[in-house]
Amino acid sequence: MITYKSSEDFEKMRKAGKVVSNIHYEIFDKTKPGMTLLDLDLIAKEIIERSNVKPSFLGYHDFPAHICASPNDVIVHGIPNEYVISEGDIISVDVGVIFQGYHADAAFSFGVGEITEEEKNLLSKTKYALHEAIKLVKDGQKLGTIGNKIDKIAKKNNLGNVKNYVGHGIGQEMHEEPQVPHYGKKNTGFELRTGMAICIEPMFNLGSEDNYVDEDGWTVKTIDGKKSAHWEHTIGLTQEGTYVFTKNLF
C-alpha cells in the first residue's frame, strides 16, 4: 500500500534521518584497522540510545544487530561479527532508526586506509549513481527513468548492477510500497507523487551482478568474490520539494 505523509510526518523522518547521518559520520570517523564489525555496531547502539530513537533493524525478522556491516564481497545485510577490519577493506554500513513511529534508512561504503584505484572508482561511481538518481526525484517522475539512470552509470563503468535487491517506500514501516528498482526504461513504471518517501540504494560490484545468500540466511555475497559498494538515502517528496533526510556529514 502507498502511504502519503503530512508535513508533520516528514518532520519526524527528518529527525530520524539526522540520527542516521550522525551514525554514519561516527562510524566513518572512528573505523580503523584492528576494530571488528561488532565495534561498529556498538557505535551505532550508543548513538541510538542517547538520541531518543529506536533501531529499525534490531529484531526485524529476527535480525540480531543495529546495523548491517558488509565487508568486501558482502553486498548487503552483513551481520556484525568478530571479523577484524584490515587495511584495504571496503566496508558498507546500512542503518535505520525510528523517531516517533517514522523510519529513516541509509547506507554508505568506504575504504579502510589505502585501496586500489579500481576500488576507489567503485565507491565513487556507486555514490555518484545515487546522487544522479536523487536529482530526478520529483512529483510525476516515473521510477523507470530513475532506474535507467542508475543502470547506465553502472554499464558505462563496467560495474555489475545488482538487480535482485531494490529500493523501497518508507514511512511508518521500513519497507513500504513502491519497490524502487535500479534499472528500467525511461518514462515507464510507477509514478511518484508529493507526499511519498522512498529509499534509493544502488549496489554496484567490481565483477558480476550475480550473488547468493550465505548460510546465515542474511548475508548477500558476490558470486565471484569481488568487492561491492552500496549507497542509500531516504528521500521525501515534501510539500516544499524533494528533500534528502539522511544527508551525509562527510
77 is in an annotated binding site: yes
Sign of CA dihedral 112, 249, 231, 24: positive
What contacts 212, CB < 8 A, 6 or more positions away? 220, 221, 223
Q: C-alpha grid cell for residue 38?
A: 561488532
105 is in an annotated binding site: yes
232 is in an annotated binding site: yes
3-class SS shares of the chain: helix, strand, coil, % to 5: 30, 30, 40
DSSP code per residue over 153-203: HHHHTT-EE--SS-EEE-SSSSSEEEEE-S---TT-SPBP-TT-EEEE--E
233 is in an annotated binding site: no
87 is in an annotated binding site: no
| Burial annotation 132-146 (CB, 10 A radius, 16+ → b, else e) | ebeebbeeebbbbbb
User: Distance between CA 56 and CA 75 in Å, rounded?
Assistant: 19
Binding region: 77, 94, 105, 168, 175, 201, 232
Binding region for substrate: 77, 175
Binding region for a divalent metal cation: 94, 105, 168, 201, 232
